[in-house]
Chain A
Amino acid sequence: MRSVGIDDLEPGMILGADLLHSGRMLLPAGSVITSGNIVFFQRQGIGDVKVLSSPQAEPDEESAEMAFRYVRDYFMFVNHDHPAIMTMFDISVRRTAVQIMEGWKLPTYEEQTVSELDDMRDLFFRDEGKVEDVVDAEIKIASFPDIFFKVKKVVDDPTASAQEIAAVVGLDVGISAQLLKLVNSPLYGFPSKIDSLSRAVALVGSKELCTLALGLSTISYFKDIPPELIDMRKFWLHSLTCGVFAKIIAEKVDGVVPEVMFTAGLLHDVGRLIIFKKMPCSSIQAMLYARENFIPLVEAEDMTLGFNHEDVAKDMLKKWNFPSELTDIISNHHSPQDAEAKIKATILQVADNLTNAIEISNGGMYVLPGIEDGAWELLDIDADCLSSIVEEYDRQIEDLFQVFFT
């Protein structure tokens, strides 16, 4: 993150910290700054603004040294000799160094710990309930957005035409608009503008479009999680980043049809949200435990809850009747060798680790969860390509973030 004077501010930059003015929130962190915003800030007399730094800069030696020491802690849990991990380490050190050079003050341990919750209660105490109880308690209070099942039905019908599918998706105006923005984003990279859902179905494919609709409706399902528990923008940025990586990596792996990978990334940690809603105190314990012991969250969940967000996702997605492939890879994104679709689950695991690696330079708090022994080799790709994947991501993320968060 760096400070930019108002005169140097340009549209497209991403706000690095909440912009407050005399106690009033003008724009939340993560917003993409528009020219309208800039005029408004000028009028408000804002001097300078914190924005996320551009990843192309070259770090100096001192910053690199500091970054190296800082980033090392986040790679405590993982195999240093793993080719993909080594590349991720390099990427992370470089990004962190650039941030430091641009004035980022490394957060101290104290600044990063989660605080306790005084007035929330878990569904049950340790060992007094099971994963299924957590999921059932969630399902009882709310049903999953109807749109998805309608879409699923037409998609499963082999005689349905692109028009018919488009008509059903179009029933949800919000989601249709988001879908169109998404398929017009650089992530899909179509040369000309797609201006109707039926064209989107024809170009992107009905399965992919339907899966995307599912992903988008899942995000809206979780919009009411209390902000003191978890920063939802950060959570979805993590998810979105993982989705982008999963899609780009999948495109490079031979013999994998990359459709569903973006949505898989988008939803990979959805189990955590259910845990947040139903077991808030234990979630906090898990986060603390992970931080204190240099272990990944998924492992800390096992220790503090007796189950983890993979287990929850598995049960939840089954009960929600999600497509089985999506359920399979999401429920095994930390243990891809247990998945039916091992390669896709591995792609998701690599994408998640890469996401964690680039989050370190934005104040991410958790160690890399690691790649299962023997998994990476299944992909048969060169670790070096992770760097170019991150560059590709950097070019896309601003636009994509806008699709989801405006």
Chain B
Amino acid sequence: MAGLFSGSGFSGGLKISTLEFTQLKDIIYELSGIFLNSNRKYLVENRFSGRIKELNLKSFKEYIEYLKYDRNKEAELNKLADLITTNETSFFRDNPQLKVFTTETLRQMIDEKRKSGKLEIKIWSAGCSSGEEPYTLSIILHEMLKTELSKWRIQITANDISTDIIQKAKKGEYAKYALKTTPPLIAKKYFTESKPGVFQVNADVKKLVRFARINLNDRTELKKIPKSDIVFCRNVIIYFDKEMKKKVISAFYDNLIEGGHLYVGHSESLHTITNTFKAKHHEGAISYRKI
């Protein structure tokens, strides 16, 4: 029985040498801050082989040269992030956390702003993937402000390193799967089934969100983001090493207004990264506040 299937393409992929792996890993890190553990060697081999063949290149060596010197290297660097991180996300991902956000952060903020008469909220969704997270935030604001919304200036800035995924986000079309953790009533209210199985997020929700391709490892680009009341960066820094985490979190600190709020993913914490934020524990989530 052995040998029946081996050789028929499974090991026909390209091989990466230890040296090449180190070079590629460094390129990726310099570009995006994403850190690849050495045990990802085979994973990289398997995920990149297809792409390398697509480019009509023959080896990892050629690919690395392409990334360094080719005139199309910018475009290829964009592709890199797609090959090494997942864009996995969904609407209303981590509901317990979003509940905490709604009741503990947003409600108070809205009350305070109403009192001060400054009806303006700026939110930054960093590492937004295909848009589910910023659109979810827009929906939460719609639910909260209802008809009052027209009086408010709300701006949700949403970025990702991947050009392709930003295109997809702008389109706002989703498969049913993206709504797996969305309450059915919300899905009904804010989405239209434009084609069978295709759910289009409504224009009102879209209107509040502005997408742009931005690399979190690019300090100058980050400085251009408008000052925020709230930053969401969930399930992104988990890919970074400690140094990059520190860099990104300090960029959020600079971007936030005094007393602004930061939300990170369930498996992420600022515990060993910084103490410039005040952590508040809630049922099922932690919120961070700039002090």
On whether the two chains bind one another, the answer is yes
Seen from chain A, the residues whose Cβ lies within 8 Å of a Cβ on chain B are 64, 68, 72, 75-81, 86-87, 89-91, 93-94, 110, 113, 115-116, 118, 121, 125-128, 281-282, 285-286, 288-289, 292-295, 299, 303-305, 370, 383-384, 387
Q: How far is the CA of A299 from the CA of B37 in the complex (A)?
A: 10
Interface bracket on B = 35 or more
Residues on B with C-beta less than 8 A from A89 are 5-6, 10
Q: Are A118 and B96 in contact (CB under 8 A)?
A: yes
Chain A proximity mask over B269-290: 1 for CB below 8 Å, otherwise 0: 1011000000001011010000
Q: How far is the CA of A216 from the CA of B9 in the complex (A)?
A: 43
In chain B, what residue has the closest Cβ to A109? B177
Residues on B with C-beta less than 8 A from A93 are 4-5
- Identify whether the interface residues of A are mostly helix, strand, loop, or mixed: helix
Question: Are A125 and B281 also in contact (CB < 8 A) when A68-B10, A90-B3 are?
Answer: yes
Q: How far is the CA of A115 from the CA of B92 in the complex (A)?
A: 12
Check if B147 is an interface residue, CB within 8 A of chain A.
Answer: no
Question: Are A110 and B177 also in contact (CB < 8 A) when A75-B10, A118-B95, A282-B267 are?
Answer: yes
In chain A, what residue has the closest Cβ to B99? A118
Residues 1-55 of B contacting A (Cβ, < 8 Å): 1-6, 8-11, 13, 15, 39-40, 42-43, 45-47
Check if B86 is an interface residue, CB within 8 A of chain A.
Answer: yes
Q: Are B11 and A115 in contact (CB under 8 A)?
A: no
Q: Are B10 and A126 in contact (CB under 8 A)?
A: no
Residues on A with C-beta less than 8 A from B9 are 68
17 intermolecular pairs with C-beta atoms under 8 Å apart: A68-B10, A76-B43, A77-B40, A78-B42, A80-B45, A90-B1, A90-B4, A94-B1, A115-B180, A121-B283, A126-B267, A126-B268, A127-B271, A295-B43, A370-B39, A384-B2, A387-B1
Residues 211-249 of B contacting A (Cβ, < 8 Å): 238
Q: How far is the CA of A115 from the CA of B266 in the complex (A)?
A: 14
Check if B94 is an interface residue, CB within 8 A of chain A.
Answer: yes
Q: Are B10 and A72 in contact (CB under 8 A)?
A: yes
Chain A proximity mask over B154-193: 1 for CB below 8 Å, otherwise 0: 0000000000000000000000010011000000000000
Q: Are B5 and A90 in contact (CB under 8 A)?
A: yes
Q: Are B42 and A77 in contact (CB under 8 A)?
A: yes
Partner of A383 from B2, B4, B266 at Cβ < 8 Å: B2
Q: Are A289 and B267 in contact (CB under 8 A)?
A: yes
Residues on A with C-beta less than 8 A from B10 are 68, 72, 75, 80, 86, 89
Q: How far is the CA of A384 from the CA of B4 in the complex (A)?
A: 12
Residues on A with C-beta less than 8 A from B284 are 121, 281
Q: How far is the CA of A370 from the CA of B47 in the complex (A)?
A: 16
Q: How far is the CA of A91 from the CA of B3 in the complex (A)?
A: 10
Question: Are A125 and B269 also in contact (CB < 8 A) when A292-B86, A294-B43 are?
Answer: yes
Q: How far is the CB of A333 from chain B (nearest CB, A)?
A: 16
Q: How far is the CB of B87 from chain A (nearest CB, A)?
A: 9
Residues on B with C-beta less than 8 A from A303 are 238, 267
Tally A-B pairs: CB < 8 A: 104
Q: How far is the CA of A110 from the CA of B268 in the complex (A)?
A: 25
In chain A, what residue has the closest Cβ to B268? A126
Q: Are A128 and B47 in contact (CB under 8 A)?
A: no
Query: Closest 8 interchain pairs by CB?
Result: A127-B271, A304-B267, A292-B88, A126-B269, A292-B86, A80-B11, A110-B177, A127-B269
Residues on B with C-beta less than 8 A from A299 are 39
Q: Are A115 and B86 in contact (CB under 8 A)?
A: no
Q: Are A76 and B47 in contact (CB under 8 A)?
A: yes
Question: Are A80 and B42 also in contact (CB < 8 A) when A90-B6, A292-B86, A292-B88 are?
Answer: yes
Question: Are A86 and B177 also in contact (CB < 8 A) when A125-B269, A282-B266, A294-B43 are?
Answer: no
Q: How far is the CA of A364 from the CA of B5 in the complex (A)?
A: 20
In chain B, what residue has the closest Cβ to A86? B6
Residues on A with C-beta less than 8 A from B88 are 288, 292
Q: Are A285 and B267 in contact (CB under 8 A)?
A: yes
Residues on B with C-beta less than 8 A from A383 are 2
Q: How far is the CB of B22 from chain A (nearest CB, A)?
A: 16
In chain B, what residue has the closest Cβ to A128? B271
Q: Are A64 and B95 in contact (CB under 8 A)?
A: no
Q: Are B46 and A76 in contact (CB under 8 A)?
A: yes
Most buried by A among B8, B47, B181, B267: B267
Chain A proximity mask over B79-107: 1 for CB below 8 Å, otherwise 0: 00000011010000111100000000000
Q: How far is the CB of B284 from chain A (nearest CB, A)?
A: 6
Q: Are A94 and B46 in contact (CB under 8 A)?
A: no
Residues on B with C-beta less than 8 A from A115 are 180-181
Q: How far is the CA of A75 from the CA of B5 in the complex (A)?
A: 14
Q: How far is the CB of B93 from chain A (nearest CB, A)?
A: 8
Most buried by A among B11, B13, B283: B11
Q: How far is the CA of A127 from the CA of B177 in the complex (A)?
A: 31
Most buried by B among A78, A125, A282: A125
Q: How far is the CB of B92 from chain A (nearest CB, A)?
A: 9
Q: How far is the CB of B129 from chain A (nearest CB, A)?
A: 11
Q: Are A125 and B286 in contact (CB under 8 A)?
A: yes
In chain B, what residue has the closest Cβ to A97? B5
Q: How far is the CB of B44 from chain A (nearest CB, A)?
A: 10
Partner of A116 from B8, B181, B238 at Cβ < 8 Å: B181
In chain B, what residue has the closest Cβ to A119? B96
Residues on A with C-beta less than 8 A from B96 are 118, 281
Residues on A with C-beta less than 8 A from B1 are 90-91, 94, 387
Q: Are B2 and A293 in contact (CB under 8 A)?
A: no
Q: How far is the CA of A86 from the CA of B11 in the complex (A)?
A: 9
